[in-house]
Structure formats: structure tokens, C-alpha cells
Structure 1
Amino acid sequence: MPWEQFASSSDTCPGFCGKVRLPALDNASTSTDLLSEDGRLYSDCGACPWGTKAVNSLYCEPCTEGLRPYDFAFIVFHALFPLLINVIVIKSSAIVGRNLKIPRIWIVAQILCGFLESTLSVVLVLFIYEPFGTLTIHSCQNHELYQWYSMWYNPVINYTRTLRCTSEIVYPLYSLPFAILFMNLVTLAILRSLLYVFASYFATPKLPSKPFYGVMWTLPIITIFHAAFSGFIYYAFPYVLLAMSLSLNVFHFASVGRKTIVGFLKTMVQDPEHFITYTLHLVLFGFALYSVMLSMPGFEHAIPKTGALVLILGLLPLPSAYYVLGIRLTVPESRGVQRFRF
């Protein structure tokens, strides 16, 4: 069958292709081959516009479905991951620069600024996606790994011509993280710069610039990974976030130093820097647990929301308790070494 005849008269479109509805034209210039059964005018098979999908492999229709909880968690992950990098770089800079005696209030200010940057990046991006000006967003419900890489599934017609139908099948899960990372870079440049300008007048000594440049260089790297491995990240991010939150928790506890259990708990509660950092760890760990639960098939119907919340709250203190109670076993008694004790 010639290409022109196939493209216009086929009852279905191959691959991810679809037909787009065209504006009404004069009947004299309208080909009957392009008319559907309901008398509407459609284009040949081709790539569906952004924000639409081919329904039943035929007509491109707008995506109007809401995000699943797991999909929304995937979007939030792209804001939390830069925040994790933020906290790691800020804490490591504080440990390396202890000789500079930077006041802890400025370390806390950097962490809170990073949290504000990540929060604003998600909120602002949601406002510019349809429906505009709201925190809700429309999506196309697709759950297969191959749908993330539509460029590799362009159909070949009659073994001679490739039909280019590359589009965002998983709208908006592929494009939206790019927007979040870009907005995170913008908020980083604005808010963190304002913090550094303010600190230059009141902080002694000056704040190290390592956290700023560390995150600024990390965001493009995350963007490249998302572009290449977004489909794999979509299925693996709960476990990546879980591993990172636990590692960051251990890194934070190790920075406290060797103390008694009571002294360790007092430091966590009384020191604003450690208290805010630990609270952030609990939030990240709880979100990671929730994401892991959402990744389990049938979880939303098997366990009510109240039961899931109780389960997560019960698991939150376990890593901290394991570290506090088990650290004494990792410090053998020797001369000049004080055991971890009550």
C-alpha cells in the first residue's frame, strides 16, 4: 500500500502515532479520506501533540487524568534529591570548616534555604502546568518502561519509511522533572545569593561557597541522568531515596561525635542545627517508606491510609534507635577509648 494511502485511510495508527483533529475547512477542499465516522476532520497518522495521547491507537486526545500517588511521589523525589545533596554538602563543609568556627545559626539558615528552594521549585512548576494556577496536574496514565523511550519505537511503514511519532507518552512525568530542576537552579541562584549577601554583613567568618557551587554543578548532572534513565529511575527511586536517607542519617549521627546515650539525645533535642537536620531526616525517611509502599502492587487497596500512616510512624525511629543502641558495640574497650554508655 502506498504511504499516502496508508497514512490517511488506516483505521488505526501504528506505534504511538495518532491523528490530530483539524480545524473545519470548506467542504470543497476537504478530502473524504480524512473525515472520521462522525464527520470530523483529522490529520494523517503522526506524533500526538504534547499533553495528548493516542486513544485506541487512533485519535489524539488531551490527557485529563489525575496523578496517581506514586506519580506525585516521583515528582517530589526530583525536589528532594537536590535537597539531600544540599544537606550533605552543607554538613560536610561545616565539618571540614570547624576551625573557621562558623556559627551554627548560619548552617541552619543554609539548610532551611535549601528546603525553601526545593519547595518553591515544585510549587511554581505545578502552577505553570495545566490546569494553570493550581497544585493539581493532568497526566496520561501509562505504566510500562518502554513508554518512556518512544523515540526507539517509531514504526517503519512498508520497510521503507520511518513514521516519526516521538512524543511524551508518560506526560508529564518526563518533562516536569526538567522544569523542577531548572526552577531549582533559578531559586538557588536567587535565594542562596541573597543569603550569602546578607551573611557577608553579619556572619564572621564568611560562609564557605562550597555548598552553593556543589548544588549548582549537581543539578545539571541530575538532569542528564533523568534524560537518559528516567524510566529506570521511575521504578527505582523509592529504594534510592530510602538508601540515601539512611546514609545521610548515619552521616549526621557520626558528626555528633562520641557521647553517652543521654548526652546524644540531649544534643539532638537542644541543638537547633542537629534538631532541624534530624527532623529533615525523619521526613525524608518517612517519605521513602511511603514511596516503597506505593510501589507495591495493590497496596492502596490492601491497607487503609490510617493504617499506612501508623505503620510509617512506627518505623520512623527504628534506624535512630538501632544506631544509638548499637554504636556501643562498635567501639571496643581499649586504652584511651571511652565506651558508649548511659
Structure 2
Amino acid sequence: MGRGLCGGEVTQAEVCQQCGAVLRGAGMLRSAVDIQPACLGLYCGRVVLAVNGSVEFYGDCGVCPRGQRTDDNKICRECVGSPERYDWLYLGFMAMLPLVLHWFFIEWYSGKKSSSALLQHITALFECSIAAIVTLLVSDPAGSLHIRSCKVKKLSDWYTMLYNPSPDYITTVHCTHEAVYPLYTIVFIYYAFCLVLMMLLRPFLVKKIACGLGKSDRFKSIYAALYFFPVLTVLQAVGGGLLYYAFPYIILVLSLVTLAVYLSASEVESFRDLLVRKKRLVVLFSHWLLHAYGIISIPKLDNLEQDLPLLALVPAPAIFYLMTAKYTEPSRILSEGGNGH
């Protein structure tokens, strides 16, 4: 004897009949549910094919379309967020690289031979600025300076091609997609526009204004760009994720080294030496801007007011160099060493 589902006393046979009915109902329910196999791979997901009210229907496990990435349930979701402040700073760093290289090679090949270097600098700035604006306009949503993006969670998000699963160790399921959309591909688009604008504008400008240079020298800055743009492209393709996490420190180290080299080569040993030529002040303030950019980029905070006190450290390296330059003069060290013997 026992109690039934409704609380009444039933016989053992009736209990077995009730258990059988429950088991048969559970079997029917189990057969009605579409149990899909697990979606393997770190970045493989299922595309949402249709939505019926609160019920979603998914496709097979595979690669997510462009502009989507997988969520915690291995479902491809559209990127609807906006880049964070750190993401914009990263894009700004990648946008500055060709501009700084343009300026370096323009100054390197023009030097004191031509008075057209300033106009070429301005033209390079114009090219990169227009390329950045056009890149934002053609990005999704088109026609707007705002872009939608997926959040970067970890370094592997930049290298999804390394995480394609092989369930049977023979067949590889290709799930490579841009999990950091659009931070990876937007840089290539920007470099393409920079190259096109340079080829359209710079040759005519150089031909008109670079009269102080020879025919073979006036286009060397353009030839240099044809070399460093492929290098920058490969750098982004291979090391985009590493640059994303390391660019603040790269800015600080390179700006400190280049500033020390420039002050040493220009034989600047005091504040008075800086005021002799305006070009030295321009170079100094340019490096200070890079210092500030790197310092602000290090803390990944959206509250800019918390980072502003750190900007007081910007002039510290230059002040330290000018205060200690007279003590590190090579001729003075050699003379003191000779007097010691």
C-alpha cells in the first residue's frame, strides 16, 4: 500500500501504473526537445536563424558573421556596444604611426636643403586626418563618426584563427572571425585610405614646391612611405593584439629615447639653448604631447579626471635631462679623468 499522486491510498499495482505513466511522459518530453551537440572551440558559435517570441532557433555550430561574436552560451550576438576610451586611444596610436613616420622621412630627406618641409608636414597631417574621417564614415554605422564594436576581453580575442577546434583530430572547424570588431580591420582600412590620398596629393605638391631638392631626392619621402606602409600592415596583422596592450609603454619609451637623442644631437644643455631656435621648442612640445598621450593611456579608466594629476609628470624627463646634462658632458668626463691620473 502507498499514497498516490493525489494523496489517496493506492495499491502497489496502481503505484507502478502511475510511475510508468510519468516515465512515458518524460520520454515523450525528451524526444520533443531538440538536443543539439556541444559547440566546441573557444570562438565557435551558433547563428540565430529566427526568433518566435521568446524562442530562438539556432543554426549549426560554426563561424559567426562579421560584426558578431559569441556570448557565454556559444550564441553569435551582434556587436552593439561603443569603443571604450582605451580602444579610442589605441586607434589613435595606430593612426599616429604613419603620420609620425611621414614627418620623420620628410624631415630626413628635406633637412636644411629645402624650405618646403613645413608644407609637406601640413600635407601629411591633412592626408592622415581625412583618411581617419573617411574610415569612420564608411564603418558601421555608415555615415556617422561613431562606430559599434565588441568588447575586448582577452588577448586571444585578437587571434581567433589559432583556436579552430579539431573534434576528431582530422577535420578542422574553421571559426575564425573578428571577435574584436572592428578594432582589427579598421586599421587596415585607414592605412589604405592614407596610401591612396598620399599618392593623389603628395606627388603634385612635392613637384611644385620642392625646388630646393634634386629630382631624385624630392620624392624620397614618398618612396619611404611605400616601404613603411606594408611594414605597418604586417605589424597590425601579426602583432595587433600585443600592440593593443603594450602601446602606452611603447609611446613612453620611444618618446623618452627620441627626446634624449634629439637633445644630445642638438647639443642642448640648458633652458637657454632651447630658446635659441623655435624648432627645438616645437620638438620638445611634440614629445610632451606624446608623453601625455602615453600617461593617459596606461590606466584603463573611463574617468579622465582621475588621470589628469598624472600629467604633472610630463615635463619631468626633459627637466631632469637639462639639469644633469652638464655633469655628463663627454669632454668634461675625459678631462676630469685625465686630471685624476
TM-score w.r.t. length of structure 1? 0.77
Shift of 1:259: 6.7
Distance 2:191 2:85 in 1: 20
Q: Which runs of 5+ in 2 are unaligned?
A: 1-33, 336-341
Identify the residue that residue 229 of structure 1 maps to in structure 2: 239
Shift of 1:38: 4.4
Distance 1:265 1:308 in 2: 30
Structure 2: which amino acid aligns with 1:14?
L
Deviations 1:138-192 (A, max 9, x none): 1111221122211121122344432111111111121111112222212222332
Structure 1 position 67 matched with structure 2 position 83:
yes
Identify the residue that residue 310 of structure 1 maps to in structure 2: 309
3-state SS of paired residue (1:20): strand
Aligned length: 298
3-state SS of paired residue (2:59): coil
Work out whether residues 45 and 70 of structure 2, in 8 Å CA contact, stay in contact via their aligned partners in 1.
yes
Alignment of 1:128-143 (within 5 A): 128-143=138-153
Structure 1 position 55 matched with structure 2 position 54:
no
Q: Which runs of 5+ in 1 are unaligned?
A: 1-7, 24-34, 338-342
Identify the residue that residue 81 of structure 1 maps to in structure 2: 97
Identify the residue that residue 208 of structure 2 maps to in structure 1: 198
Shift of 1:217: 0.7
Structure 1 position 285 matched with structure 2 position 301:
no
Which range moves more in the overlay, 227-236 or 112-121? 112-121
Identify the residue that residue 238 of structure 1 maps to in structure 2: 248
Distance 1:241 1:61 in 2: 35
Work out whether residues 12 and 58 of structure 1, in 8 Å CA contact, stay in contact via their aligned partners in 2.
no
3-state SS of paired residue (1:122): helix
Structure 1 position 180 matched with structure 2 position 190:
yes
3-state SS of paired residue (1:57): coil
Distance 1:158 1:238 in 2: 42
Distance 1:179 1:57 in 2: 32
Distance 2:314 2:296 in 1: 11
Work out whether residues 270 and 322 of structure 2, in 8 Å CA contact, stay in contact via their aligned partners in 1.
no
Structure 1 position 118 matched with structure 2 position 145:
no
**Which one has the largest radius of gyration?**
2
Distance 1:243 1:53 in 2: 34
Out of 208, 214, 226, the residue aligned to residue 218 of structure 2 is 208
Say if 1:127 and 1:152 are closer, same or farther in 2 by CA, change over 3 A: same
3-state SS of paired residue (2:307): helix
Work out whether residues 13 and 57 of structure 1, in 8 Å CA contact, stay in contact via their aligned partners in 2.
no
Higher RCO, 1 vs 2 (CA within 8 Å, ≥6 residues apart): 1
Work out whether residues 78 and 180 of structure 1, in 8 Å CA contact, stay in contact via their aligned partners in 2.
no
Say if 1:287 and 1:48 are closer, same or farther in 2 by CA, change over 3 A: same
Out of 79, 85, 93, the residue aligned to residue 109 of structure 2 is 93
Shift of 1:85: 1.9
Identify the residue that residue 21 of structure 1 maps to in structure 2: 48
Work out whether residues 120 and 206 of structure 2, in 8 Å CA contact, stay in contact via their aligned partners in 1.
no
Deviations 1:95-136 (A, max 9, x none): 5xx4xx322xx2222222222233222222111111222222
Work out whether residues 45 and 74 of structure 2, in 8 Å CA contact, stay in contact via their aligned partners in 1.
yes
Work out whether residues 130 and 138 of structure 1, in 8 Å CA contact, stay in contact via their aligned partners in 2.
yes
Which range moves more in the overlay, 229-238 or 107-116? 107-116
3-state SS of paired residue (1:293): coil
Shift of 1:46: 1.1
Identify the residue that residue 324 of structure 2 maps to in structure 1: 326
Work out whether residues 269 and 325 of structure 2, in 8 Å CA contact, stay in contact via their aligned partners in 1.
no
Work out whether residues 11 and 58 of structure 1, in 8 Å CA contact, stay in contact via their aligned partners in 2.
no
Identify the residue that residue 10 of structure 1 maps to in structure 2: 36
Structure 2: which amino acid aligns with 1:234?
Y
Identify the residue that residue 7 of structure 2 maps to in structure 1: none
Distance 1:318 1:196 in 2: 39
Identify the residue that residue 163 of structure 1 maps to in structure 2: 173
Task: Give the fraction of aligned pairs with identical amino acids, expressed as a percent.
Answer: 28
Distance 2:158 2:89 in 1: 17
Work out whether residues 140 and 169 of structure 1, in 8 Å CA contact, stay in contact via their aligned partners in 2.
yes
Distance 1:214 1:251 in 2: 22
TM-score w.r.t. length of structure 2? 0.77
Structure 2: which amino acid aligns with 1:22?
L
Cα RMSD of the aligned pairs, angstroms, is: 2.8
Distance 1:323 1:288 in 2: 19
